[in-house]
């Protein structure tokens, strides 16, 4: 078998590459520099981890945040890969030990903070080994045109120049405009770099802008309606973080906070509480989040407008990394513009720039501020606006943002939130499935979620009459429900993998599983058997698997996703493997994890069915 695919399956448990991954891996393996621009959750890590395991020497990964390194190393170790990190969270003795192991060639991948690259100890340790690749993660940090410029990133080039030979250099980031892209190539001195830019769109994210009269009340309504989900609330200042966190805690929410004014220890503790699901809401400034690999964030609310579209998309993009539907809501008020201007005009970390350069950066930042103000005020499709900003072609409407779908833009008024994976109420869910199927039979194509909701809700939309859809048996079948509830049913159906949204934004169709579900119902009706079908058994099984994961993660002292991601558990619940062979077929289960967890998970699945 092709070695790349062998590693993909054995270490990471996947059978196919995602968009862009193969091209970047091949470039690096052929000795060529590479620049990968992929959205959050797009799978950048594999692009350097797979070559790292195939190249003969070691791979250094420069990364800006301690938390990211720790997470990545934990995840790699749990997949059986020898990896380590070097940053200020280690004691001098621990760093010494890592250096010794580096010299002994014990690691394939080493994550390192940029500040550490030029230290004598590190230079000495790596002088004894071969560095095959240097990988720069969050590469936009090297550009002063990006929103996260870190002067320490400029040391990377000095480090490369000090080596007796030049390793392959690869760089990755999620957000980069053309200008930042050029700057990355220039500052890192990338040579003939293979540049791969995959789409920026994240179809599972729903964008919304609100202009609330009273932000605190609106925020409480929004989080009440999402009680069983994890979320991040970004505020512009430390003071706001304190206020908002306090109010949420008073209202009974498990909220914690993160900003640069807290001690290192408290920041670490609060971040862990959030990552390990002990607290469900993180209230933070933009200091929080870069590199947080928490895949089950169900919403990101911006209590204040951020300073640029790049910052917004990066922060909002921390929602829904597991591919599940997630909300990105921006609460805008005119006073946000004043706060943003003050923050831009009084930068905290740009001291390495000359006064002229500093002024240029400020002017550039103010121009970017205008853009995000425009986003908050636009009536156009919000997703379209974002994609335009990054220069990507898109349909006129996405049918999944507050401007395209006015009906769902209000916060759900019901405080009783649905459980994270809500058991779909059988009858209504089947009506929705049947309606989607009937419309497809009628028109020979699938239509948007909005149109399905309108048919079920007996709307007078002219598209319904033009296509004679008012003659369908389902026209008005759910008119007694609120439209939000029908959207809710659809979200649940999607979560259960019974329907899917195609890349054409908001077009909904049945999955094979959804079709099977419909057929089961029809067969049951024909045989007029009275026995209830075991509906949505996977949702219950999924819960069993999640509980087991939680228990194992607690025992090992790691975040739940290090054991298995949500997507892996979904696939496991669907495939319901019976033996280790079948267990290995589950997406995200590699050799190492199968050996480690196979037995207990198989036992749980077996118990569930018996």
Among residues 37 and 469, whose Cβ is nearest to ligand ADP? 37
Pairing mode of beta strands 255-258, 109-112: unpaired
The contact pattern for ligand ADP, residues 320-339, with x = CB under 6 A and - = no contact, is: -x------------------
> What is the C-alpha to C-alpha distance for residues 80 and 524, in angstroms, rounded to an integer?
47
Residues 514-573 that bind ligand ADP (CB under 6 A): 565
Angstrom distance (rounded) from CA 549 to CA 535: 23
Closer residue to ligand ADP in complex, CB, 41/146: 41
d(CA 209, CA 378): 9
Residue number, 7 or 245, with CB nearest to ligand ADP: 7
User: Is 200 or 234 the residue whose CB approaches ligand ADP more closely?
Assistant: 200
- Our finding on whether 38 is near ligand ADP (CB under 6 A) is yes
Give the three-state DSSP class for 330: strand
- 170 neighbors 28 (Cβ within 8 angstroms): yes
Taking CA atoms, 540 is separated from 175, 537, 549, 571, in Å, by: 38, 5, 14, 13
The nearest distance, CB 174 to ligand ADP, in angstroms, is: 6
Beta carbon of residue 370, minimum distance to ligand ADP (angstroms, whole number): 28
Contacts of 335 (CB under 8 A, 6+ apart): none
Choices 34-42, 121-129, 250-258, 596-604 (CB under 6 A): range interacting with ligand ADP: 34-42
Strand pairing partners for 109? 59, 83
- Specify the stretch interacting with ligand ADP by CB under 6 A; choose among 43-51, 108-116, 426-434, 573-581: 43-51
Name which position in 22, 25, 34, 41 contacts ligand ADP (CB under 6 A).
41
> Should residue 293 be labelled a site residue for ligand ADP when binding is judged by CB under 6 A?
yes
The structure tokens listed for 335 are: 């006073």
Closest by Cα among 549, 527, 554, 526 to 597: 549
Q: Which is nearer to ligand ADP, 295 or 496 (CB)?
A: 295
Query: Please, which residue, 135 or 236, has the CB nearer to ligand ADP?
Result: 135
Name the token pair of 261: 């004014």
Complex with ligand ADP: residue 215 or 321, whichever CB lies closer? 321
Q: Which stretch binds ligand ADP (CB under 6 A): 10-18, 156-164, 367-375, 483-491?
A: 10-18
Among 4, 44, 202, 457, binds ligand ADP (CB under 6 A): 44
Q: Which of 9, 27, 33, 40 binds ligand ADP (CB under 6 A)?
A: 40
Burial of 502 (C-beta count, 10 Å sphere; 0-12/13-18/19+) = exposed
437-476 residues near ligand ADP, rule: CB under 6 A = none
- Least distance in angstroms from the C-beta of 40 to ligand ADP: 4
The count of chain residues that interact with ligand ADP, using the rule CB under 6 A, is 17
Within positions 337 to 396, which residues make up the interface with ligand ADP, using CB under 6 A?
Answer: none
Work out how close the CB of 25 gets to ligand ADP at its nearest, in angstroms, rounded to a whole number.
Answer: 11
CB of 593 to ligand ADP, least distance (A): 12
Pairing of strands 508-510, 499-501: antiparallel
Least spacing, CB of residue 309 vs ligand ADP, in Å? 18
User: How many C-beta neighbours within 10 Å does residue 282 have?
Assistant: 28
When the beta carbons of 76 and 472 are compared against ligand ADP, the nearer one is 76
Decide: helix, strand or coil at residue 565. coil
Of the residues 4, 11, 14, 86, which one makes contact with ligand ADP according to CB under 6 A: 14
CA 112 vs CA 66, 68, 135, 264, 386: distances in Å: 9, 10, 10, 19, 32
- Could you give the string, one character per residue 583-602, with x where binding to ligand ADP holds by CB under 6 A and - elsewhere? ----x---------------
17 binds ligand ADP (CB under 6 A): yes
Tokens, residue 107: 């690691």
Q: Measured from the CB of residue 251, what is the shortest distance to ligand ADP in angstroms?
A: 32
- Per CB under 6 A, the list member of 4, 27, 35, 42 interacting with ligand ADP is 42
Q: Please choose, out of 37-45, 214-222, 259-267, 455-463, the segment that lies near ligand ADP by the rule CB under 6 A.
A: 37-45
State the Cα–Cα distance between residues 391 and 177, nearest whole angstrom.
8
Nearest C-alpha neighbor of 174 from the set 317, 324, 48: 317
Phi-psi region of 100 (alpha: psi -120 to 50; beta: other; left: phi over 0): alpha
Within 8 A by CB and 6+ apart from 199, the residues are 19, 39, 392
CB-based burial label for 238 (10 Å; 0-12, 13-18, 19+): middle
159 binds ligand ADP (CB under 6 A): no
| Near ligand ADP by CB under 6 A: residue from 45, 63, 144, 448 | 45
Q: Under 8 Å CB-to-CB from 108, ≥6 apart: which residues?
A: 52, 53, 58, 59, 81, 82, 83
Question: Where do contacts with ligand ADP occur on this chain (CB under 6 A)?
Answer: 14, 17-18, 21, 38, 40-46, 293, 295, 321, 565, 587
């Amino acid at each position: 078998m092709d070695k790349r695919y062998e590693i993909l399956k054995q270490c990471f448990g996947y059978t196919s590459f995602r968009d862009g991954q193969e091209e970047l891996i091949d470039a690096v393996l052929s000795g060529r520099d590479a620049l990968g621009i992929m959205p959050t959750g797009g799978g950048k890590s594999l692009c350097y981890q797979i070559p790292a395991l195939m190249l003969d020497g070691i791979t250094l990964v420069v990364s800006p945040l301690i938390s990211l390194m720790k997470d990545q190393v934990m995840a790699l170790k749990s997949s059986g890969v020898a990896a380590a990190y070097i940053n200020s969270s280690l004691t001098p003795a621990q760093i010494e030990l890592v250096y010794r192991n580096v010299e002994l060639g014990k690691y394939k991948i080493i994550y390192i903070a940029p500040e550490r690259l030029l230290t004598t100890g590190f230079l000495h340790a790596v002088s004894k080994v071969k560095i095959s690749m240097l990988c720069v993660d969050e590469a936009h940090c090297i550009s002063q045109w990006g929103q996260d410029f870190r002067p320490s990133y400029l040391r990377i080039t000095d480090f490369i120049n000090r080596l007796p030979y030049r390793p392959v250099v690869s760089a990755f980031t999620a957000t980069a405009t053309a200008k930042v892209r050029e700057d990355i190539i220039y500052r890192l001195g990338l040579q003939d770099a293979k540049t791969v830019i995959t789409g920026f769109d994240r179809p599972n994210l729903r964008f919304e802008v609100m202009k609330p009269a009273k932000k605190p009340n609106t925020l409480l309504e929004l989080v009440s309606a999402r009680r069983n989900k994890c979320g991040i609330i970004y505020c512009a200042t430390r003071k706001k973080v304190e206020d908002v966190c306090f109010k949420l805690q008073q209202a009974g929410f498990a909220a914690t906070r993160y900003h640069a004014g807290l001690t290192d220890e408290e920041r670490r503790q609060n971040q862990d509480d959030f990552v390990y699901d002990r607290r469900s809401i993180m209230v933070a400034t933009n200091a929080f989040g870069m590199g947080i690999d928490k895949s089950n964030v169900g919403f990101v609310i911006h209590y204040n407008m951020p300073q640029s579209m790049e910052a917004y998309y990066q922060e909002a993009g921390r929602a829904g990394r597991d591919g599940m539907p997630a909300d990105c809501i921006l609460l805008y008020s005119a006073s946000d513009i004043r706060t943003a201007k003050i923050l831009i005009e009084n930068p905290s970390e740009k001291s390495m720039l000359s006064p002229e350069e500093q002024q240029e950066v400020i002017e550039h930042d103010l121009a970017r501020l205008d853009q995000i103000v425009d986003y908050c005020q636009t009536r156009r499709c919000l997703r379209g606006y974002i994609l335009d900003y990054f220069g990507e072609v898109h349909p006129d409407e996405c049918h999944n943002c507050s401007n395209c779908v006015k009906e769902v833009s209000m916060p759900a008024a019901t405080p009783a939130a649905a459980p994270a994976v809500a058991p779909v109420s059988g009858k209504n869910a089947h009506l929705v499935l049947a309606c989607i199927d009937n419309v497809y039979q009628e028109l020979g194509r699938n239509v948007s979620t909005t149109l399905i909701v309108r048919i079920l809700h007996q709307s007078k939309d002219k598209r319904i009459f033009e296509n004679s859809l008012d003659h369908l048996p389902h026209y008005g079948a759910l008119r007694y429900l609120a439209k939000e509830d029908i959207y809710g049913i659809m979200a649940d159906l999607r979560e259960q993998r019974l329907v899917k949204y195609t890349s054409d934004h908001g077009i909904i169709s049945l999955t094979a599983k959804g079709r099977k579900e419909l057929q089961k119902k029809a067969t049951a009706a024909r045989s007029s058997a009275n026995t209830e079908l075991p509906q949505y058994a996977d949702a219950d099984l999924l819960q069993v698997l999640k509980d087991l994961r939680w228990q194992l993660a607690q025992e090992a002292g790691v975040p739940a996703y290090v054991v298995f991601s949500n997507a892996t558990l979904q696939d496991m619940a669907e495939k319901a493997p019976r033996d280790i062979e079948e267990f290995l077929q589950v997406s995200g289960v590699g050799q190492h994890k199968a050996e480690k967890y196979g037995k207990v998970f198989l036992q749980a699945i077996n118990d569930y069915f018996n």
